[in-house]
Amino acid sequence: MFVLLLACAPDPVAGEERYALFCASCHGADGGAGVQVEGVAATDLAAVVPSRSDAELQALIQEGVGAMPAQGIDDADVADLMAYLREQFDGG
């Protein structure tokens, strides 16, 4: 049972790899790089992640928001990514 749970749980280490692939180019490794897209700076993640629900984060990642383009990441990978975002930008 325990092993099963572990296998199904979102994995922040895999999430960090997703982050490096899909997010760091604009938000930077520390979330605060603020690279400009169409004249809009990428939001500092430490400033916004704590106030966004998982559902809101999933939607903006998969559908895009404002100047941020949608990122083609499937639900399982988004779950891993979310675990990393909470750990890194939301005090764990």
Which residues of the chain form contacts with ligand HEC (CB under 6 A)? 22-23, 25-27, 37, 40, 42-43, 45, 48-49, 52, 57, 60-61, 65-69, 71, 85
**For ligand HEC, which is the closer residue by CB, 8 or 66?**
66
**Smallest gap from residue 86 Cβ to ligand HEC (A):** 11
| Both structure tokens of 45 | 């993640």
Question: Do 48 and 85 form a contact (C-beta atoms < 8 A)?
Answer: no
Question: Do 50 and 90 form a contact (C-beta atoms < 8 A)?
Answer: yes
**For ligand HEC, which is the closer residue by CB, 14 or 60?**
60
| Both structure tokens of 62 | 């998969």
